[in-house]
């Protein structure tokens, strides 16, 4: 199995994403974000600039 970043599409091998990745449950579905996207995501969340994502 592999895990794909829900944001940029980056894929890693394995059943679970690396610890540096962020996992979130949205509408009952698991979403994973890679290290880089997690940072972008967190910044956006903190700034509340991209409410369409949430």
Binding positions for Zn ion, rule: CB under 5 A: 5, 7-8, 10, 34, 37
Find the length of the chain.
Answer: 54
Minimal distance in Å, beta carbon 51 to Zn ion?
A: 20
Gap between the Cα atoms of 41 and 54, Å rounded: 10
Q: At its nearest, how many Å lie between Zn ion and the CB of residue 15?
A: 18
Cβ proximity to Zn ion, 3 vs 37, nearer residue: 37
CB of 44 to Zn ion, least distance (A): 13
């Amino acid at each position: 199995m592999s895990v794909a970043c829900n944001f940029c599409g980056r894929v890693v091998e394995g059943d679970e994403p690396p610890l540096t990745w962020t996992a979130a449950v949205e509408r009952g579905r698991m979403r994973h974000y890679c290290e880089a996207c997690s940072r972008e995501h967190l910044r956006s969340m903190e700034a509340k600039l991209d409410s369409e994502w949430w």
